[in-house]
Structure 1
């Protein structure tokens, strides 16, 4: 054991040092299981943690959901989601952490990823750059705890890239020096499979790295050989990963690919000198997440080593020139819009800008390692003065313009300067026997202290969910999901009136109609925008249903959180209410729990139904959701286009406070009379019937502009939306006065699409019952297969579904393959003849089999190359 430790301690320390530093910080912050907090924040708490729960569920209970899931909004392919979120081998660790313990699993995975990033970089330093001793874990820890890693701790799915990048570069060295293809092809293809997005950035970096590397070529013959090896083996890696890449490419064409920037502005996004501030300690906070500067912190040793690369006389001039040109390209990429777009796949990132900066940090630390090794980790006096001058200029620039940087402070500047001076002193001290023995240890300890300081000052600026905030709604949702699973084995959708996140559905195997993902198909938010539900480029929420939309989309069950008046005993286990739906009284209360109730919608349709062919011609209609729902129901039933279900209702009284009175409400602009005082408009109405009443709100009436109150309580509704949404202020309150209040948040308010409607419940339910007479009777179902029977009574009918259209769906009618087509610009439809038919729908990801064949062929070629080399 002693011999083993003596030989391998640099790599063991490269792994353990980042783990110990981060573990110490996690314990200090009280992250679960060391306290009441958790590692969940921003997207890790609102998105990724639910994908990890879905991953567990798929592997342990429902393998068919690997390809397709109806928990993804109304349904959607999942292979693209796996390719972006879930193919990291580290995710297997989550199998050991069920339910509320998933947060502890996140902490374990984070520690492992930090440790392995240090370990793989340490291997690169040891095996390719031939570093020895404590200098390996010192630089490896600088890499593992660089600013990008700390800032993107919450983006766990990206942290595999810094682990694999050193391995890929090791493989590239073996490829170009020893003609060994296996390591390079396997590590690069694995990175493409694990996360194609970060792999794309690594591929761009490899092209620049290869240009620098080839400054050492001996002759043109070797250069041509190296170019051939690099290009051919890189393409072979793409081939090996094709089983994932090809289906993912199709997925991107229906989701993120439709948001690609068409116009490019040749401009600098900010003054390039500003990025200097990101080399100081603690240069990260919440404001840096949506629109900040690139995360470039490396620590003093790596920064001075990078400068030394260009100051050292022991490094060839042509290598310096190539390194300078590559570095200049990186600097431009960090501030020049066209290059920034290129690194992000021609799409501006939504939050977390300059996501590729980890490759730049790798580049700088890599060059620093080369320079420090060649100079024996020592600076000459003139080199020290140069570094000191650069530091002084940089810190001086930040100090005199400190108000520009929301993360900077005089204290942080002093701490940064202190570590800079300490490292410069240790690199410049006279060499003696004692110095040679103690200096590596001193540098190691100072670097660790500096990295710990940056970690603490950066992450202290971020707030995290408590363990209770995660555990309470997770427990309630898991309990309701289990009740429904025991109660009903048929296919159904479930609407949520309380939620933890928009991804509760995939986390708990509920077809909940809501979803949040970067790979959400564009047609789904487009449809939600017409229906009157909150939507965005990467999310939808089914929170504002009506009796008609619930029925047509098959929302058979609704999950409701009890209010304080309904709770038998007071509790502090509050659930986040997403919607107020008094029209629940029209449904059957199925189950009553401790804090929640489950309602059953007796009018909910199946996934498919016999619809009139008028539905094929239903036009797209934004910002008139109740008109769209009317048109849908009329077209499906073959009713006259003049048939109405929603009737405009008037307010009995409107009170204007600190704003001028206007006779017309809808579409009117209101301004505060006195800008210093609060303003509000009070709307009063008394329902004439017990029918449900619905209120439409245009996007100008979101949380940024107004706060809504129902009576004296703030209206419980989803706060953000970009198209007109529908609220349900009252049902069954005939003769009772209802009071709505709009409190201004700004100096003016636009009542965009502000209309109150009454639903003719009897007529609407009559039409819905007509559709239920000929709905698809599902006999068997799984995540990627629907089997059942349906009867059509007229040649003017076809089979409509609420399954989102996707080329991966294949249909058989009475055993014969038939074509599918798109209806409503969203869903899947089938042409059928009158009579009773057996329907089988199966889903296979487009290009999956082709991708498998290409991958198989590529692995065979790789095997032949390996056999030939042996």
Structure 2
């Protein structure tokens, strides 16, 4: 053991030093299981943790969900989601952490990723740069706890990139020096497989690194050509090995994220480049830096000084310095010049978390620092010390003078930065007696660890986190509801949420809730939601504002409603669930069962996943910002009713009270302004239903939570208040003769009542039409995520088979065993022609490009194996 530790302690410390530093911080913050807080924040709490729960369910219970899931909004292919979110080998650890313990799993995975990043970088320093001793874990810890990784620890899916980058660079060294290609091909292929997005950035960086390598180790043109061929061919081979996943993912991107690719370039600097110098200060990060900020570049004093020293060290060849300088300049410009920034992000501006590629910049700086510190033997000459001191002092003075525009900079963090800078400079400048030579590496190791811990604490203390209870309470309630429903009904159906934790609750709980949040959401889905009056965005949808028509046509068979606080026992009242929708029209549905905190209602009018529809449905046009008109057109076309058939009738308010704003006779489309800008303004709308029908209110996008707060009576309206198209609210159902009061409070000095109309729905006529469709619905007899089989009775010649399954080329339909051609209806769903009579209909999903990708992967793996065998033969 003693000999093993003596030989391997640099790599052991490279793993355990960042591991224990972060473990200490997590314990200090009281993250679960060490306290009542959790590591969940922003996207980790709102998105990723639900994907991890879905991963557990897929692996343990439903393998077909790997390819497709109906929990992805209305349904969608999942290979693209796996390729971006879920293929890290570390995710297997989540299999050990069910339910509420998933937060503890996140903490364990984070610690292991920190440790492994330190180990792989330490291995690169030790194996390829021949660095030994404490300098290895010192720089490995600088790499692991760099500003990018600390700022992005909540983006756990990206953290495999800094782990694999040193492995790929090390394998590249081996490829170019010994022609052994297996390691390079497999490590690069693994990175592409784990996360193609971060792998893309690594591939761009590899091209830059290869240029530097050739200047550093150039011998002759013949060798240059051979190594260029090796680098290009083996890189393409790695892409080929990953094609089984990459090609289906590329198809997925063409229908989702790829449709938002930026084509108009602005040749401009995004900010003053000197601003990024502030990111070398301790704690230069806060919440405001997440949506839009500067690149995270903190690497600690030693690594920063080492990077500068690389260009001052006379032992390093001039042409290597020139190449490194040009690459460094290119990377610096990439972090502020818009076209290059777009290039690194796949020609799409990041939604939050800007300059995601800056981890390769930090890697590059620490890598060059390692070379310089090794050659200088941790000793600076006086003139080098003066230059570094001058540059650092100028930087700190600039940041100090500009601190008013940098809200993440404080006097204490500037003071700590200066203190650590001075300490490190002193240690590097002291004359090296034998005692100093022994103590300096250890002292530097301690100082660097303290500096990185200070940066970690100052950076992460600026972020708020979910408590364990905030995660556990709604998750437990949803799990209970999901279990209850699975025992209650084994047929295929969708479920609407009137309470929620996140938009990915359905994914986490295996419930088809219709809501979803993901970077790879197919564009047609938010487009459709924008037409039916539901909240939508480029990467999310929320099914919260359903009507009897949309619920039934989309086969929303059950609604989950949270009990009000007043209904809970005293011990439960402090953990009430968050309502996301106010739906009095649940009174039209049947109360099926209830739990301690929720009620489950059944919709007796749910049509089914597929139904016989009139051919007119093929001609329904796209219609934004008129959701009730679109729903009318949908129901009329499906049932073959006359286009003039109406279900919604505009209703007037009985009284409108204007407070601190001018009166208007016509409300819809009116523009209001505060009379006294120093006081609050509001408008109170009153109406008394004349029937027990459902009443619906439409709100345009200018009435979202950014502009107004809505109240139902004295309570704030439960609604998802971020939407970009007109949405539908349901203020009253079965409340004939009871006065309803709706209040809107201004959030700004003006308010535009965009698309503001109150409607009454003819419930009886709607129910009659829905029952008509139910008679010819698809009776599913078998289903999983990839295959559905059932029978249907087509009673009329002019009918088609219509579904609410989102259209994809991956779906293949058969009628009575014979393949039929599918087409897109409503610009969203699958439809196909079908003859009159009783039929057995089967739909099967295979990810487009899967078989082609598998063939390319097998060929590429075969070539890799042949190259390996050839290399072994040559060695023998």
What band does the TM-score fall into relative to the shorter chain?
over 0.9
- Of 644, 647, 650, which aligns to 1:648? 650
2:635 corresponds to: 633
Secondary structure at the aligned position of 2:575 is classed as coil
CA displacement, residues 152-186 of structure 1 (integer Å, 9 cap, x when unaligned) = 01000000000000000001000000100011000
Task: Name the structure 2 match of 1:433.
Answer: 434
In 2, the alpha carbon distance for the partners of 1:564 and 1:148 equals 42
**2:558 is equivalent to residue 557 of structure 1:** yes
1:694 matched residue in structure 2: 696
Q: Does 1:124 align with 2:124?
A: yes
Which of 629, 649, 659 is equivalent to 2:661? 659
What residue is the counterpart of 2:91 in the other structure?
Answer: 91
Specify the alignment match of 1:152 in structure 2: 152
- Preserved contact between residue 566 and residue 573 of structure 2 (Cα < 8 Å): no
RMSD: 0.6
1:498 aligns with 499
Residue in 2 aligned with 1:540?
Answer: 541
Instruction: Describe the SS at the equivalent of 2:796.
Output: coil
What is the rounded CA distance, in whole Å, between the counterparts of 1:567 and 1:41 in structure 2? Answer: 28
Counterpart residue number, 2:17: 17
Deviation by residue 1:493-513 (Cα, 9 ceiling, x = unmatched): 000000000000010000000
Match for residue 566 of structure 1? 567
SS at match of 1:610: strand
How many equivalent pairs are there?
Answer: 870
Distance 1:441 1:166 in 2: 24
Match runs of 1:656-735 below 5 Å:
656-735=658-737
Alpha-carbon distance, 1:377 to partner: 1.2
Deviations 1:129-150 (A, max 9, x none): 0001000000000000000000
| Counterpart-to-counterpart distance in 2, 1:124 and 1:655 | 72
Aligned equivalent of 1:750: 752
**Partners in 2 of 1:783 and 1:775 — Cα distance?**
20
Say whether 1:409 aligns with 2:418: no
In structure 2, distance between residues paired with 1:413 and 1:568 = 51
Determine whether 1:813 maps to 2:793: no
Q: Deviations over 1:521-569 (max 9, x none)?
A: 0000000000000000000000000000000000000000011233354
Answer with 159-168 or 402-411: which moved more.
402-411
What is the CA-CA distance between 1:818 and the residue it aligns to?
1.1
1:410: Cα distance to partner? 1.3
Aligned to 1:619: 621
Aligned pair partner of 1:598 in 597, 600, 623: 600
Rounded Cα–Cα distance in structure 2 between residues aligned with 1:712 and 1:558: 25
Q: Shift of residue 380 of structure 1?
A: 0.4
**Residues 531 and 622 of structure 2 are in contact (CA less than 8 Å); yes or no, is this contact kept in structure 1?**
yes
User: Helix, strand or coil for the counterpart of 1:311?
Assistant: coil
Structure 1 runs not aligned, ≥5 long: none
1:420 maps to what in 2? 421
CA deviation after TM superposition for structure 1 residue 592, in Å: 1.4
Q: What's 1:375 paired with?
A: 376
Q: Distance in 1 between matches of 2:644 and 2:608?
A: 26
Residues 8-46 of structure 1 deviation map (CA, whole Å, 9 limit, x = unaligned): 000000000000100000000000000000000000000
Aligned equivalent of 1:587:
589
1:811 partner SS: strand
Q: Distance in 1 between matches of 2:866 and 2:710?
A: 68
2:143 aligned with 1:135: no
Counterpart secondary structure, 1:677: coil
1:74 to partner: Cα distance: 0.3
TM-superposed CA distance for 1:571, in Å, is 1.8
Separation (CA, whole Å) in 1 of partners of 2:444 and 2:411: 25
Query: Secondary structure of 1:807's partner?
Result: coil
Where in structure 2 are the equivalents of 1:467-486 lying within 5 Å?
A: 467-486=468-487
SS in 2 for 1:572: helix
Post-superposition Cα deviations, 1:420-476, rounded to whole Å, max 9, x if no partner, equal: 000000001001110111110000000000000000000000000000000000000
Cα distance between partner residues in 1 of 2:270 and 2:660: 42
Q: In structure 2, how many angstroms separate the alpha carbons of the residues matched to 1:279 and 1:471?
A: 38
Distance 1:271 1:38 in 2: 37
| TM value normalised by structure 2 | 0.99
**Cα distance, 1:401 vs structure 2:** 1.1
1:188 equivalent in structure 2:
188
Q: Within 5 Å, which residues of 2 pair with 1:458-469? A: 458-469=459-470
Runs of 4+ in 1 over 2 A off after TM superposition: 564-570
1:69 Cα offset (Å): 0.3
User: In structure 2, how many angstroms separate the alpha carbons of the residues matched to 1:88 and 1:272?
Assistant: 35
Q: Who is 1:366 aligned against?
A: 367
Alpha-carbon distance in 2 for matches of 1:431, 1:67: 62
> Is 1:324 equivalent to 2:340 in the alignment?
no
Structure 2: tracts of 5 or more residues without a match: none
CA distance in 2, matches of 1:409, 1:533: 43
Q: Secondary structure at the match of 1:565?
A: helix
**1:60 counterpart = 2:60:** yes
Aligned to 2:851: 849
Cα distance in 1 between the residues matched to 2:577 and 2:594: 16
* Aligned twin of 1:824: 826
Distance 1:70 1:664 in 2: 43
- State whether structure 2 residue 265 is matched by structure 1 residue 261: no
Task: Give the secondary-structure state (helix, strand or coil) at the position aligned to 1:349.
Answer: coil
- Maintained 8 Å contact 2:815/2:840: yes
